[in-house]
Structure 1
Amino acid sequence: MKDVTQLDPVALRTLATSVRLGTFEAAARELHVTPSAVSQRIKALEARVGRVLLHRVKPLEPTEAGHVLVRLAAQTELLEREAVSELVEDEPDSTSYTSIPLAVNSDVLYGWLVDALVAVQDQHRVVFEVIRDDQSRTAARLRRGEVMAAITSEPKPVPGCRVVRLGRLRYTAVTTPEFHDRHFADGVNATSLAAARMVAFDRADTLQHDFVRRVTRKHLAPPTTYIPSVREFDSAVRRGMGWGMLMAHEAEADLAAGRLVELVPGRRNDVALFWQHWRLGSAAMADLTDAVVRAAQEWLSA
């Protein structure tokens, strides 16, 4: 077995930059070297570990071994930048900030995540790159080393990560009284659900289809409008474009006032959410975890 200790940090950074930007040429521009130098660094790293690290396609795709080293490179950079930030914390003009990429779902981003991020920026010299994705897919980004932490529906820890349960997002299937009278006068069943217009966030959003399967025990394909914005999705349902799953606490007042009606009264769909983050001795990550957990406790069901 090869001795893979003391990996070249420059080569690790080159690998991570190449994966992030997708080509050797783009990585070379950012690193101020030639594409040939980028290629040679990665070849030397592959020789060092005895594994192919990249699929040479466009955009570049890391192999399983490549994912491991991309994650290592990002972890190393986080700790280095955090250390530098501590060294220059008394220099107000310094631009040395730690960048923390996160993957989260839209409802969390819309609801409470920014509160947690602001709290961390009050304590640390950090900036964030927030990547929006469905909660069923954010763990995959963490696994690939694209982000350092994620809010996910996956309870099983990604290798090298810790998991904290945050709580549940509770949804209810609603529509306007007029839409309900027009499409569900004979009941909410396989026939009516197959024909009635549905609103979904995007093609990764399975909430509505999950509800249909639970009610009918069938896989149906209703006519669907996709609205990839929390605010506009909410507006589309409230304006009668179709039925959709709204966060229960957001719909309560309109349900009580009769402006919305539930398709199946009392039927709620819960999505358990978990915070997964890299196992690092990072003060910023520890404080971010604490802030996320506190903010979630104020918004989510237990």
Structure 2
Amino acid sequence: MDLDLAGVTTLVAVVRTGSFEAAARELRLTPSAVSQRVRGLETRVGRVLLRRTRPVVATEAGEVLLRLGGQLELLVEEAVEELRVEAAPASRPPVLPVAVNADSLATWLLPVLAELHEDQGVTFELLRDDEHHSAELLRQGRVLGAVTADPVPVQGCRSVPLGVLRYRALAAPSWVARWGAPPQQIEHAPVVVFDPRDTLQHRVLARRGHPDAQPPTTSVPSSWDFDRAVRMGLGWGMVPEPGLGDAVERGELVPLWDDGELDVALWWQHWRLDSPLLRTLTEAVQRGAAAVLHPPHP
């Protein structure tokens, strides 16, 4: 199949910007020209590639070409940088789109990216999503790598084990004074969750014999503020161990059970692409994870 690379680039722009009009402004084309390029690409591959919704989203076939478009952009940027004459002005540094769960971002990934930025001059577009859903952004072609709880590689990707992010069931002393440790009525005791996709607390409730419990719940969609909410007594919560410091030893947080731990195994999935920059990013992510996370379970 003879793919029209200009059409692939246009497809990427339409999905990234969310509309044909916005893609036209980015590419300095008319909306009609953008539409013609996409229709021509769809004719070549014999598939519908976009759902004309607001925002525009890719079909399953379109996601394949989105991944191709992202890989082409990365390879072109690397080639241009390699061929750049030393006296010529530096080109714009590449932007690496990465999906990551909030707790990894808050506890160990940012220093990794900062070091890579210092060494390579690259910048990042970070898309935050729950670790059980972040691989979907790879599948959609929106990112080149993802920290995920899914070990099964997305088509066209590699999966590398990173280690185990351990969470502990903790509460503030004021909360414990009301509900106890261990809590006497845990199915009714207030709880803090990150967002509707956060199931850690409810997994602990199920393990304690309350799979259908619906306790009073406060949703706090920020890792830093989640920690503060637990410390202020809004509810008990599963707090990531790497961010605890000596809070338990100082009595700022109280463990609810002796076995109140939950391990989440993490993987790094990335495009199967021979890119020096992607290889450097992968090695940096592995080193950063190994310094903070528990070793992967055998």
TM-score range, shorter chain: over 0.9
2:73 aligns with: 77
Equivalent residue for 2:211, pick from 213, 218, 225: 218
Residue 232 of structure 2 is aligned to residue 239 of structure 1: yes
1:292 aligns with: 285
Please state how far the C-alpha of 1:115 moved relative to its aligned partner.
2.0
| Identity among equivalent pairs (%) | 46
Which amino acid is the alignment partner of residue 28 of structure 2? H
TM-score scaled by structure 2? 0.94
Distance 1:249 1:63 in 2: 39
**Alpha-carbon contact 1:85-1:96 (below 8 Å) kept:** no
Distance 2:25 2:116 in 1: 32
Residue 259 of structure 2 is aligned to residue 266 of structure 1: yes
Q: Which structure 1 segments of 5+ residues have no match?
A: none
Q: Per the alignment, in what secondary structure is the counterpart of residue 47 of structure 2?
A: coil
**Alpha-carbon contact 2:171-2:235 (below 8 Å) kept:** yes
CA deviation vs aligned residue, 1:30-61 (integer Å, no higher than 9, x gap): 01111111111011001101111111111112
**Alpha-carbon contact 1:167-1:273 (below 8 Å) kept:** yes
Residue 198 of structure 2 is aligned to residue 202 of structure 1: no
Residue 156 of structure 2 is aligned to residue 188 of structure 1: no
Q: Per the alignment, in what secondary structure is the counterpart of residue 151 of structure 1?
A: strand
Q: Per the alignment, in what secondary structure is the counterpart of residue 171 of structure 1?
A: strand
Label 1:174 to 1:92 Cα distance change in 2 as closer, same or farther (>3 A).
farther
1:229 aligns with: 222
Runs of 4+ in 1 over 4 A off after TM superposition: none
Q: Which structure 2 segments of 5+ residues have no match?
A: none
Equivalent residue for 2:35, pick from 36, 39, 60: 39
More displaced 10-residue stretch of structure 1: 118-127 or 233-242: 118-127
Distance 1:103 1:127 in 2: 14
**Any residues of structure 2 matched to 1:66-105 within 5 Å, and which?**
66-88=62-84, 90-91=86-87, 93-105=89-101
Distance 1:244 1:57 in 2: 38
**Alpha-carbon contact 2:165-2:294 (below 8 Å) kept:** yes
CA deviation vs aligned residue, 1:214-255 (integer Å, no higher than 9, x gap): 112422111111112211111111111111111234446232
**Alpha-carbon contact 1:200-1:225 (below 8 Å) kept:** yes
Question: How many equivalent residue pairs?
Answer: 295
Distance 1:188 1:218 in 2: 16
TM-score scaled by structure 1? 0.93
More displaced 10-residue stretch of structure 1: 145-154 or 231-240: 231-240
Q: Per the alignment, in what secondary structure is the counterpart of residue 246 of structure 2?
A: helix
Distance 1:269 1:87 in 2: 49
Label 1:161 to 1:21 Cα distance change in 2 as closer, same or farther (>3 A).
same
Distance 1:282 1:89 in 2: 21
